[in-house]
Amino acid sequence: MSALLEVAGVSKSFGPVKAVDNIDLTIGANEFFALLGPSGCGKTTLLRMIAGFEMPDQGRIILAGQDITGVKANKRPINLMFQSYALFPHMTVAGNVAYGLEMEGMRGAELDRRVAEALDLVQLSPLAKRKPAQLSGGQKQRVALARALVKRPQLLLLDEPLGALDKKLREQMQIELKRLQQETGIAFLVVTHDQEEALTMADRIALLKAGRVAQLDAPRALYERPSSRFVADFIGQMNFLAGEVTAAGLEIPGLGCFGAVNLADHAIGTRAELAIRPERVELLDGAVSGAIAAHVSGLAYLGQDLILHLSIAGRAQPLVARVPAANPLSTRLRQGLDLWCRWPAEHSLVLSE
């Protein structure tokens, strides 16, 4: 994978607040990359520095081998799709899409052809003559996308691209964006606070926390092998059980000793937490060796799954389990039921802070 964009040691402060703190990233050509994190983690600031609207205090931004740190936003071969879409209200859909090409000095038939092509790509050709006020949210989003893509940038930045859409449309557009990225071959950098969005679309995700990269990995690795409690907690749901690392496993007071895939990474005698995804918790009718007695203290039906809160004697926090509704046991589950649970060591992780 050849590097298209390189962010090298970039920092940016606003007054006393360090918004971006010495970040290094590399984005490959034709890659779909996501910057994920809670609000205030610095993802938007980083995006705006790559777009050229903010200057880094330190570090360099390199695009295709060229240092563009000091290059103005209107001279960078990078385009941004704004969170608000930022469509020009006084221009038609076609006028909006043509604008960027006109800035390159393009006129006449060539311009018309490129605009038509871009509108075709986002399936908006019939609406070319409309004004933005006459479009729905999803249509506006497509115009914004076409307007940025038509310039054939080397890198397309998307700031919370699906944030303003309702749930159904959002799911549809996730697949659509992925298709457009593959068809155009342009590298996409998406900023989002929505983990599901990042997981479905991105090839790689950088999870940011307080201006730093907490973990950079492919979606599956991020979900299955989070490197810290923060990552595990941010992506999906996770049960945490505190204990101490021993040679045999993590010793959890009152429950016993549990194995985990990455036990070897931790020094014996340190404090750590055992992390188990709710869908990895197995429910049993009867006691088997290694199973823990539990009591159903809460139950929620979600359609395809059931969420159970299992109280375990001596623990304040209930253990959360997720059971497919298709599971034969699920019809018998009800509040107050006593049962047993366990989890496989190969799906358990040991995490320290």
Binding residues (CB under 8 A) for other proteins: these are: 51-53, 72-75, 79-80, 82-84, 86-90, 99-100, 103-104, 130-131, 133-137, 147-148, 151
Nearer Cβ to other proteins (63/80)? 80
Cα distances from 8 to residues 15, 63, 67, in angstroms, run: 22, 11, 10
Q: Which is nearer to other proteins, 168 or 220 (CB)?
A: 168
Which CB, 44 or 195, lies closer to other proteins? 44
Task: Provide, rounded to whole angstroms, the least separation between the CB of residue 28 and other proteins.
Answer: 23
Shortest spacing between CB 323 and other proteins, in angstroms: 36
Question: For residues 96 and 227, which CB has a smaller minimum distance to other proteins in the complex?
Answer: 96
Cβ proximity to other proteins: between 186 and 207 the closer is 186
Instruction: For residue 174, report the phi and psi dihedrals to the nearest 5 degrees.
Output: -60, -45
Query: CB within 8 A of 75, min separation 6: which ones?
Result: 52
Q: How far is the CB of 86 from other proteins (least distance, A)?
A: 4
For the bound state, the minimum distance from the C-beta of residue 171 to other proteins, rounded and expressed in Å, comes to 17
Residue 72 or 332 with smaller CB distance to other proteins: 72
Cα dist from 146 to 80, 125, 283, whole Å: 11, 11, 50
Report the SS3 class of residue 323: strand
Q: Closest approach of Cβ 33 to other proteins, in Å?
A: 19
All residues at 6 or more sequence positions from 191 whose CB lies less than 8 Å from its CB, including other chains:
34, 35, 43, 44, 46, 47, 157, 158, 159, 160
In this structure, the number of other CB atoms found within 10 A of the CB of residue 108 comes to 7
Q: Retrieve residue 237's tokens.
A: 């749901």
Tell me how far apart the alpha carbons of residues 266 and 18 are, in angstroms, rounded to a whole number: 31
180 phi and psi angles, rounded to 5 deg: -60, -40
CB of 69 to other proteins, least distance (A): 17
> What CA–CA distance (Å, rounded) separates 320 from 313?
15
Phi (first) and psi of residue 96, to 5 degrees: -60, -45
Q: What's the closest the beta carbon of residue 85 comes to other proteins, in angstroms?
A: 8
Residue closer to other proteins (CB basis): 117 or 224: 117
Q: Give the Å distances, CA to CA, from 120 to 89, 102, 153, 165.
A: 21, 19, 18, 21
We find the least distance from the C-beta atom of residue 74 to other proteins, in angstroms, to be 5
Closer residue to other proteins in complex, CB, 43/204: 43
Reading phi first (left if > 0) and then psi (alpha if -120 to 50, else beta), residue 236 is in left
